Each structure stands twice: as C-alpha cells, then as structure tokens.
Structure 1
Amino acid sequence: MSKEAKSSYFDLPALDVSVAFPQATPASVFPKCTSDYYQLDDLLTSEERAIRLKVRECMEKEIAPIMTKYWEKAEFPFEVIPKLGALHISGGTIKGYGCPGLSVTGSAIALAEIARVDASCSTFILVHSSLAMLTIDVIVLNNDIQLLIHRFSFNNRTIGIRNAKEKYLPPLAELSSISCWGLTEPDYGSDASALRTTATKVEGGWILEGQKRWIGNSTFADVLVIFARNTATNQINGFIVQKDAPGLQSTKIENKIGLRMVQNGDILFKKVFVPDEDRLPGVNSFKDTSKVLAVSRVMVAWMPIGIAMGVYDMCHRYLKERKQFRAPLAAFQLNQQKLVQMLGNIQAMLLVGWRLCKLYESGKMTPGQASLGKSWNTLRARETVSLGRELLGGNGILADFLVAKAFCDLEPIYTFEGTYDINTLVTGREITGLPSFKPAPLRPQSRL
C-alpha cells in the first residue's frame, strides 16, 4: 500500500455509532426515566415537579445530542448557555434580583436532572449558582445553617450589600454573565483554611497576591468570587474580581479524565486591585466560607443522584435492546441482580437527598449531616456506575453510551467539595465532639 493510500485509510472518519452498533440506542437519544422506583414525585410540590420536568425536557432534547462531542474535545458547549438560562434556575433559592427563589428541594432537583444527562453542565451551574451567586448574595448563617433575611437599613454597610446584589445578581441569574468561585490553592485543598493568597488594604481598595487552582468556569468567567487572607487581621475575606483586572491570569488545566467539559483553571494574582465596593462584607472568616460550603453540599449530594439515575436509565434500555445467546441481556439473572442493586442504591440516595433538603428548609440541618449526605451518596453512586460499566460490556468504555463518561465524571465529584474522607471526618467530629483532621504530633525519637 502506498504512503498516500495509507494516509487516506487512516484519515477515514469513524462510523456513526448508530451504524457501527445498531443493536442499541446511543445516549444522544436519551432514555426515558425509569429510575424513580419509589416515586419521589409524590414527595414534591407541584412547582418542584414542574421544575423537574422542564429541566429534564431541556437536557434530553438540547444537551444529550451534543454532549459526547464536547466531552471528547474537553471543550465547554457555550451554545447551551442561553438554553440553560431560559430554564430560570440560576440563583436557585435567592429571592429577588431576577433570581427564581426556588425551594432548596426544587434547586436540588434541577441540579440532579442536569447531572442525569451531563455532569459537566451540572458542575457549571453548581459553581455559578450555588457557590458564587450565593456568596454574592451575602449569605449570613446562624448555628443551624439557616439563611437569614437581610433587614434593610440606611447604614453604609447595608446599602453596599444591596448595591452589590443589584449590580451582579440580575445578569448572573439570566446567565448573560458567568461567575466562578475561588478557594482551593495548589498547596491547600482539603486544608483550605490555611490558604496563602493575600489581600492587603490600600487606599480605595485591596491588592490581591497569590494563586488558585481547580477553579471551575474560571477561564471564561466574567466575575470571580475569590477568598484571600487579610494581611491585617489574618482572617479569610471574600472579594469580587473582574475578568479583565490587570494582573489577573487564568489558564486551563489540561488532561483531565473526568468532567472534561468543565473548564477548570489555574489563577494567578499579581498585584490585582479590587475596589472597596467589591469586598464581600458577609465573609469575615473561614467559618463564613465553611457555611457556604455546607449549603452547597446539599446541592452536591444531588449530583451523584442524577448521575446514577442516568446510568441506570441507560442500562435499563440497553439491556432490553442488546441480545446475546438469542435473548436480550435483561433476561439473564446476573444482569437483573445488578440492575436491582443499582436501583436500590438510587432509591436510598434519593431519600437521603430529600431528607437533607427538608432538614435544611426547617433550619435543622447541621454541617455533619450535609457532609454525610455528600460522602455517602457519592460512594453509592460510585458503586452504581461501576455496575453499569460492567453491564454494558465493551460499550461500557464508550462515551457514546453515557456510562463510561459518567464513570469518569463521578470521580472528581467524589473528591470535590470535600473529599469522601474529609466529609466523613466532618461528620465524625460532629457525632463525637472530637476533631481528627490533624495527625498527632510526632514524638522525639529516643536515643536509646
């Protein structure tokens, strides 16, 4: 074969998966939902059910056909932002300023429905809405982790809070402006309270110096919510940084195996000036940051629910379509046992997530409960997607059939917003009263 013929041979495009493997329908045509076995809808309000159906329809029709292409290229599908904006879910529970004012349950359900089809899109919304926007909304929380309503007064502090909300929240709510949330640093992930990025007070504002890593949306965000250590007080403060601020640099982290559509970035701050009005008055210590994370962990606990539901739905359809030994795969006992195990996991995850929302809405949720919900649900989802990968055989490693993509996407979710281990330690500290985050001090070695 000549060099030209070889080149032509290798340049041939791959067959469309529906042609190459006609025995099963790919995820570009998303399966109907068959995973709500214990009828969660009965526990939802009519508004929450409507949100669920609205988001589901958008994801199945608009996102499912294109997600594999963008995931493979590790690019974000900017074309879907207007479609996600039209759902009017950005801002979640925030009331006013163009935000939807959803119930916690409604916001969680919406996030799960996005994750059911694509975990990267759900992460995009999580970062933008449940982290950055909630922080800008100046979350003030009491010991029960319940949102308090800001009472309007005429002091400068309250006027500044209101002005910041009016300036930033409306465009963020309609997704005409995009935000990110920067806490993690190269040297400080789980130990985020030890962060080194600094904020130094100067005339008219602050100077930020330092570095952040793994910040989702940061390569294209218009608004960056950044946490830095106040050099005067040594406390963690919050700031809003504009994308075009001099001295700001954000670059994409390459070569990820999961959440490939999410644009995680490394951020460098070199004498970045932030005006006084963009200092967030609701963040005055790491405790304030931890409370924001506790709220977002309610949302994160629902992402693995959505991922697991999508995997089950795909496997349920695939096993009825795909035939071996002159029978559909769904007819074999081992496959049915795995399907039922997956289904049982999902029902338990759903009930944990629903109860977590109810605890939050009643003002009873604790940080330990939020951490347990996130860690336990990601663990069960990990088992569920692993079983799904087995059920699809060779097609279980193809993103075209969703399961391989979900398998990879779940791994960073198992780790972000507190690793599985750190979240269990948060719960462990709460139930025992004994913190175990730091190892015992090393004893001096004896000379004997």
Structure 2
Amino acid sequence: MSGPPADPLGYYDELLTAAERTKLAALRAYLDEHARPHLPLWWERGESPAHLRAGLAALGLEDDPELAGDDGRPSAAYEGFKHFEFQRFDASIATLYHGQVGMFRTAVRAGGSPEQVARLDPLIASFALTGCFALTEPDHGSDVARGLATTARRDGDDWIIDGRKRWIGNAAISDVLLVVAKDTSDGRAKAFLVPRETTGVSVEDICGKIALRMVRNGDITLQGVRVAESDRLARIESFADVSAILAKLRYVVGWNAAGMQTGAYESALAYALGREQFGRAIAGFQLIQEKLARMLGNASATLSLAVRLTELHRRGELSHSAAALAKTWAADRVRETVALGREIAGAEGIRVDNDLARYFCDAEAVYTYEGTHEINSLIVGRAITGLSAFTR
C-alpha cells in the first residue's frame, strides 16, 4: 500500500489519483528533509520556521493543473489528505501553511469582490502576500458572533478601526491582517484587509504556551487604524457571511484529528520497536500492543469520519450539528491517542526529541481551537433536544 501505514481501511489509495499521491509524497519528502531534523529545537525555542513557506509554495500543492478537477480545483479528498499530511507531521507547521491557504485564502475568495479576488488570489497562493484571519478577541471566543467588540466607523472614503484581537495565528509574520469588526452604524460585521505595518496596529506575540509553540499567535491592538473602503471585503455584510466562510472549512476537522493521531501512532510504534526492556523490544509486550491497537483504532475511526464529513461537504449537506459532533468526538480521540503514545515511551515520552511529547502538548491546542468540547456539545445538544442551553 502506497499510503500512510496507519490507513488499514485503504482510503488513501482508493480516494486519491496517482497525481494526488505523487504531490503528497513530494510534501512528505520536503518536510522530512527540511523540517524534521530541526523540529525539537524549533519547538523548544518557540521558533516559527516561516522560511519554509517559500519551499512549500514552490511544491504547487494548491493550483497545479495536474490536480484540477472539473471545477478547476483540487478534489475535496486531496484537500483532506493534505491537511492530514501536515498534521501527521506537525501541527504548528500545519498552521503556518493552512492559516494562509486555508482560512485566509478562503475568506478572501468567499468575501472579496471579483476584482479583489482576481488581484489577491494569485498572490496568496504563491505566498507573495501573506495574511491571517483575525476574528477572536480577548473577551470573546466562541461567543464572538454576539460579542464582537472591535468596531469600524465610516469616515468619508475610509474606515476607522478600534479594538483588539487575540490568539491570531501567524499574525506577526503576515503582511495583512483580515480583521472582522462591527460597523458602528448598523451593528453588522464587516471584514477589512489591514496591512500589519499600518499606523495604529501593534502585534505582540503570546508567549508561555505549552502547545503550538512554533506558531506566532498574536495579541493585536488596533487604535484609530485607518483603512480604505477599497480594502473592505465587499461581500461580507454580516456575521452570517463570516459564519458561511467558516462553514466551508468545517469538514477538515476530521482530517486534522486523524493526521495528528496517525503521527503519534507512528512515533509510538517506532519507539516501541526500538526500545528494549527485559531483553526484547517492548513492542512485543501485550500491554504495549494493546495501546498501539487502540491508537490505530482511534486514528482509523477518525479518518473514516473525515471521509464521511468530506462527502457531506461536497454535497452541501454537512450540518452545523454534525460538524460539532465530529469536532467534539475527534478532539476527545486525539487527547486519548496522544496520551497512549506518551505512556508507551515512559519517561522518554516527556522529551520532545521523541516527537510524542510534541504531539501530546499540541493536542491540547487542537482540543481548544476546534471550538472547545463544551460549546460543541451544546450545539449537538440543541440539535438533539430542540432546546438551546445558550439562552436562559
């Protein structure tokens, strides 16, 4: 089988074309050569390998004509396995890449005017223009739809933006911040492309993290920031439009979760095969094999879920509650799987050199940024009972 070892159900070979498998193999080779030897040091230092972006862009993972389907774009299965491969390797590097070509590009494509898209999209795909999606705020995460505190006030042909954004991935290494703000005149959400070097913009890195240490998460302050009307994304007129953009990316949660679990499983298996106790490899012990089997089972089940979510997404039938159920279940499985891997490595499992500590810590970020277990559970609960726990 040419796909990932942790794909016993054979999705990789069945769902991907030869060209898609070749492209993903090139991605694996690039990451193994240019990033793998440095991962422990980068992670421990909290150093973002932003220099990888040029090499990743040169791989043509997004717009290679060989990948184009009938609609001119890569297949949803390829997009899913691309997320899988990045997360399988490292969650921070996945954020470095997909924060640009996933969230930022999707927002511009869906929210920009045809002229804006035509001008910006090629620059985004090539990383000639880098950007990040600035939505969450210090006091508003899951409730930001109703609690949006950053404001935008029209002033002639410009807008004046004031507020703060927090936990914005890649903020300090992006040319443009895509800022979602509340229009003071009508209370509706608008989105603005704000150059990071604009007067009144400051970005401070969030330090002291135990997860995604290589991601430059930013605390952004905007004070009297002046932005031209031409830099407002023309097709975002309300938070419903923002939600619709986020909905386009719901299906990737399963791929991300399956990828991280697969990486942890492979690292745990390699460690168990190479570590000897009582005169033989610990991979031959029953307790270790039971943990490996559970890890592989979790990863395979999550990958199956990802495939189903992708099909529903392709057909336009993926509901908010189904995505929330997938998020909360998959995030739970990620936590369980990486913990089993860390257990297999014992004391060495708390050292980042063996990868398992990195997966173990980074899983906490995945568990949180997918919307938190509690919020997603309430979304599912509302769908099940017809009663909303969000209101009193």
Matched, 1:424 2:371: no
Say whether the 8 Å CA contact 1:389–1:407 is kept in structure 2: yes
2:31 is matched with 59
Say whether the 8 Å CA contact 2:150–2:162 is kept in structure 1: yes
1:210 is matched with 163
1:321 is matched with 274
Equivalences for 1:300-339 in 2 at 5 Å?
300-339=253-292
Range 284-293 or range 254-263, more displaced: 284-293
User: How many angstroms apart in 1 are the aligned matches of 2:126 and 2:385?
Assistant: 44
Matched, 1:244 2:197: yes
1:293 is matched with 246
User: How many angstroms apart in 2 are the aligned matches of 1:352 and 1:136?
Assistant: 28
Range 349-358 or range 280-289, more displaced: 280-289
Relative to the length of structure 2, the TM-score reads 0.93
Say whether the 8 Å CA contact 2:53–2:97 is kept in structure 1: no
Equivalences for 1:357-368 in 2 at 5 Å?
357-368=310-321
2:9 is matched with 38
SS for the counterpart of 1:381 is: helix
User: Which one of the candidate residues 75, 87, 112 is aligned to 1:103?
Assistant: 75
Say whether the 8 Å CA contact 1:223–1:243 is kept in structure 2: yes
SS for the counterpart of 1:188 is: coil
SS for the counterpart of 2:203 is: strand
Give the letter for the 1:345 counterpart. N
Matched, 1:437 2:383: no
Give the letter for the 2:121 counterpart. L
SS for the counterpart of 2:51 is: helix
2:226 is matched with 273
User: How many angstroms apart in 1 are the aligned matches of 2:155 and 2:335?
Assistant: 48
Once the 2 structures are TM-superposed, how far is the Cα of residue 126 of structure 1 from its aligned partner? 2.7
Range 245-254 or range 75-84, more displaced: 75-84
Range 273-282 or range 377-386, more displaced: 273-282
Segments of structure 1 that go 5 or more residues without pairing to the other structure are 1-31, 140-159, 441-448
User: How many angstroms apart in 2 are the aligned matches of 1:290 and 1:418?
Assistant: 13
RMSD: 2.0
User: Which one of the candidate residues 115, 125, 139 is aligned to 1:163?
Assistant: 115
Once the 2 structures are TM-superposed, how far is the Cα of residue 43 of structure 1 from its aligned partner? 3.2
User: Which one of the candidate residues 246, 258, 261 is aligned to 2:211?
Assistant: 258
Once the 2 structures are TM-superposed, how far is the Cα of residue 90 of structure 1 from its aligned partner? 4.9
User: Which one of the candidate residues 359, 378, 381 is aligned to 2:334?
Assistant: 381
User: How many angstroms apart in 1 are the aligned matches of 2:349 and 2:5?
Assistant: 19
Equivalences for 1:74-153 in 2 at 5 Å?
74-90=46-62, 101-138=73-110
Say whether the 8 Å CA contact 1:90–1:172 is kept in structure 2: no
User: How many angstroms apart in 1 are the aligned matches of 2:144 and 2:191?
Assistant: 14
Range 302-311 or range 100-109, more displaced: 100-109
User: How many angstroms apart in 2 are the aligned matches of 1:87 and 1:68?
Assistant: 24
Once the 2 structures are TM-superposed, how far is the Cα of residue 215 of structure 1 from its aligned partner? 0.4
1:399 is matched with 352
User: How many angstroms apart in 2 are the aligned matches of 1:321 and 1:191?
Assistant: 47
Say whether the 8 Å CA contact 1:64–1:118 is kept in structure 2: no
| Structure 1 residues 221-258: Cα deviation after superposition (integer angstroms, max 9, x where no partner) | 10111100010110111111112211111110110000
Once the 2 structures are TM-superposed, how far is the Cα of residue 37 of structure 1 from its aligned partner? 1.7
| Structure 1 residues 179-208: Cα deviation after superposition (integer angstroms, max 9, x where no partner) | 111111011112111110001111112110
Assess, with a 3 A threshold, how the Cα gap between structure 1 residues 79 and 49 changes in structure 2: closer, same or farther.
same
User: How many angstroms apart in 2 are the aligned matches of 1:52 and 1:374?
Assistant: 25
Structure with more of its chain in helix, by fraction: 2
Say whether the 8 Å CA contact 2:283–2:289 is kept in structure 1: yes
Once the 2 structures are TM-superposed, how far is the Cα of residue 50 of structure 1 from its aligned partner? 3.2
User: How many angstroms apart in 1 are the aligned matches of 2:383 and 2:220?
Assistant: 34
Tell which structure's C-alpha radius of gyration is larger: 1
Range 310-319 or range 258-267, more displaced: 310-319
Assess, with a 3 A threshold, how the Cα gap between structure 1 residues 48 and 364 changes in structure 2: closer, same or farther.
farther
Give the letter for the 1:80 counterpart. L
Once the 2 structures are TM-superposed, how far is the Cα of residue 285 of structure 1 from its aligned partner? 1.6
User: How many angstroms apart in 1 are the aligned matches of 2:164 and 2:271?
Assistant: 46
Matched, 1:229 2:182: yes
Matched, 1:73 2:25: no
The count of residues paired between Structure 1 and Structure 2 equals 384
Assess, with a 3 A threshold, how the Cα gap between structure 1 residues 199 and 91 changes in structure 2: closer, same or farther.
farther
User: How many angstroms apart in 2 are the aligned matches of 1:91 and 1:130?
Assistant: 13
User: How many angstroms apart in 2 are the aligned matches of 1:127 and 1:266?
Assistant: 16
Once the 2 structures are TM-superposed, how far is the Cα of residue 310 of structure 1 from its aligned partner? 0.7
Once the 2 structures are TM-superposed, how far is the Cα of residue 177 of structure 1 from its aligned partner? 2.1
Once the 2 structures are TM-superposed, how far is the Cα of residue 271 of structure 1 from its aligned partner? 0.8
Assess, with a 3 A threshold, how the Cα gap between structure 1 residues 33 and 363 changes in structure 2: closer, same or farther.
closer
Once the 2 structures are TM-superposed, how far is the Cα of residue 299 of structure 1 from its aligned partner? 2.0
SS for the counterpart of 1:237 is: strand
Say whether the 8 Å CA contact 2:4–2:12 is kept in structure 1: no
Once the 2 structures are TM-superposed, how far is the Cα of residue 296 of structure 1 from its aligned partner? 2.1
Once the 2 structures are TM-superposed, how far is the Cα of residue 100 of structure 1 from its aligned partner? 7.9
Assess, with a 3 A threshold, how the Cα gap between structure 1 residues 100 and 425 changes in structure 2: closer, same or farther.
farther
